[in-house]
């Protein structure tokens, strides 16, 4: 079997203006100046690329790449050109089952989103060809249902608590609010949420690089003092400050998680060497696909760290891919982050469109059990959102 074509479709989906803002968290106001390191989203449109790999046997696999310049730092046009003009042509003519070699061929510096789209399409193609779920290709399955965590946008404490309760009505039992501005205000956000959701709900927090090391230590100490039950604090300091993150980690009991610091296997190794985190946040698009994600999980396991699968948004194919990754990776912490469920519809055909969406059944999404990722795109929905101009 040989790959004959790698092609992409750009998809742009609008989200409600306030649904993923962090205006009152992660943002500092100093002498009238607003400062915010990440994420800085320029618009309320989320952009994606669907990636299709065709073969000379008439079979095809589908992957997808998020773009999101506010987080990943690349435009849709850059990622699309990388796949269409540079990475895709490198794997045409290869056997899709020679995945390690294919990924080696396109292992240029950066372009993690482009690589992840191709990697997912290769996995879907292999699974479909063999008639097995992708989870069986990457370690099998130790669970059929995956608990879901949702990130909650920053805002006033009462509003954030209300947002969590609205999600709880849809079956969600784990949350990761966005904080990262001023520790005293942020701990009030966490207290309001804990009071609203009760003691049994998983509560993580993401500072999105917003603190200095001393602010992060203060936030953790306040959270510990007020018993908010904070499971972990994600990316308290800027991505490049591994020494600062290590200082935070050694000063507090709260688990510290690396997100923006952890893209590649080499990033993961540096975090381990610096003792900078207790937990690694693995996102398929940061790691360049399931191929890189599995390697990072192995590094974490070797170093005695934990892993969380984070949100990188998704149209449905990547939601399914994350479920297969979670099902096949023992080390992954129970709840997997699927914030995209609350932002926009998926583009899947039935039954995937309802199965991989809110409301949840007992706080979980099912791992699809069909060949490949076990989901199909709804081509009419894709056409409706394909190539939409910005507004």
What is the nearest approach in angstroms of Mg ion to the Cβ of residue 358? 21
Q: CB of 175: closest distance to Mg ion in angstroms?
A: 13
Alpha carbon distance, N-terminus to C-terminus of the chain: 42
40 is catalytic: no
Main-chain phi, psi angles of 209, to 5 degrees: 75, 15
- Our CB check for Mg ion shows the closer of 172 and 309 to be 309
Whether 271 contacts 258, CB under 8 Å: yes
Report, in Å, the least distance between residue 310 CB and Mg ion: 6
Q: Which CB, 149 or 367, lies closer to Mg ion?
A: 149
Segment lying near Mg ion (by CB under 5 A), choices 34-42, 104-112, 204-212, 282-290: 204-212
C-alpha span between 113 and 123 (Å, rounded)? 15
Q: How far is CA 159 from CA 17, 122, 165, 188, 316, in A?
A: 15, 42, 10, 12, 28
Beta strand pairing status for 3-14 and 45-55? antiparallel
- State CA 349 to chain mean position distance: 22
Query: Total residues contacting Mg ion (rule CB under 5 A)?
Result: 2
340 vs 378, beta carbon nearer Mg ion: 340
Pick the catalytic residue: 115, 176, 283, 286?
283
> Taking the complex as a whole, how short is the minimal distance between the CB of residue 39 and Mg ion, in angstroms?
8
Q: Between residues 238 and 352, which has the closer beta carbon with respect to Mg ion?
A: 238
Stretch near Mg ion under the rule CB under 5 A, chosen from 74-82, 162-170, 200-208, 318-326: 200-208
Nearer to Mg ion, 70 or 275 (CB): 70
* Residues 305 and 283 sit within 8 Å (Cβ to Cβ): no
Q: In the complex, which residue's CB is closest to Mg ion?
A: 259
Q: How far is the CB of 282 from Mg ion (least distance, A)?
A: 12
- Percentages helix, strand, coil for the chain (3-state, rounded to 5) are 40, 20, 40
Instruction: Confirm if 119 and 63 have CB atoms less than 8 A apart.
Output: yes
Q: Which of 64, 119, 186, 206 binds Mg ion (CB under 5 A)?
A: 206
Q: Which of 69, 90, 112, 85 is nearest to 8 (CA)?
A: 85
CB of 21 to Mg ion, least distance (A): 15
Minimum CB distance to Mg ion smaller for 121 or for 308: 308
How far is Cα 122 from Cα 62, in angstroms, rounded to an integer? Answer: 8
Active site residue 295: no
Among the options 28, 40, 115, 178, which is catalytic?
A: 178
Place of tokens 């996102």: 283
Residues 252-281 within binding reach of Mg ion (CB under 5 A): 259
Closest alpha carbon to 154 in 194, 199, 188: 188
Count CB neighbours of 385 within 10 A: 18
Whether 253 contacts 274, CB under 8 Å:
no
Q: Which residues bind Mg ion (CB under 5 A)?
A: 206, 259
Q: Which residues are identified as catalytic? A: 178, 283
């Amino acid at each position: 079997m040989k790959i004959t074509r790698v092609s992409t479709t750009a998809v742009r989906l609008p989200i409600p203006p306030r649904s993923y803002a962090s205006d009152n968290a992660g943002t500092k106001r100093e002498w009238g100046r607003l400062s915010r390191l990440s994420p800085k989203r320029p618009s309320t449109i989320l952009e994606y690329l669907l990636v299709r790999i065709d073969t000379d046997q008439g079979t095809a696999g589908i992957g997808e790449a998020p773009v999101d310049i506010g987080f990943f730092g690349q435009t849709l046009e850059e990622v699309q050109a990388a796949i269409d003009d540079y990475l895709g042509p490198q794997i045409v003519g290869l056997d899709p089952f020679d995945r390690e070699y294919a990924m080696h061929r396109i292992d240029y510096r950066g372009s993690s989103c482009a690589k992840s789209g191709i990697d997912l399409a290769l996995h879907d193609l292999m699974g479909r060809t063999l008639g097995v779920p992708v989870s069986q290709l990457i370690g099998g399955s130790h669970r059929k249902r995956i608990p879901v965590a949702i990130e909650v946008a920053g805002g006033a404490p009462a509003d954030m608590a209300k947002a969590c309760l609205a999600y709880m009505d849809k079956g969600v039992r784990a949350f990761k609010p966005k904080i990262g501005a001023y520790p005293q205000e942020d701990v009030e956000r966490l207290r309001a949420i804990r009071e609203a959701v009760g003691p049994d709900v998983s509560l993580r927090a993401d500072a999105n690089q917003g603190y200095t090391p001393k602010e992060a230590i203060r936030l953790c100490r306040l959270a510990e003092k007020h018993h908010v039950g904070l499971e972990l604090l994600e990316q308290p300091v800027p991505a490049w400050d591994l020494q600062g993150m290590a200082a935070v980690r050694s000063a507090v009991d709260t688990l510290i998680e690396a997100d923006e610091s952890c893209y590649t296997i080499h990033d993961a190794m540096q975090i381990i060497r610096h003792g900078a985190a207790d937990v690694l946040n693995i996102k398929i698009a940061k790691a360049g696909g399931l191929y890189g994600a599995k390697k990072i999980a192995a590094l974490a396991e070797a170093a005695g760290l934990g892993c969380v699968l984070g949100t990188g948004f998704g149209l449905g194919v990547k939601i399914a891919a994350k479920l297969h990754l979670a099902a096949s990776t023992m080390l992954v912490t129970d709840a997997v982050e699927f914030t995209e469920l609350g932002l926009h519809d998926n583009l899947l055909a039935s039954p995937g469109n309802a199965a991989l969406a809110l409301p949840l059944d007992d706080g979980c999404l099912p791992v699809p059990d069909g060949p490949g990722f076990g989901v199909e795109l709804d081509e009419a929905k894709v056409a409706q959102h394909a190539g939409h101009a910005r507004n």
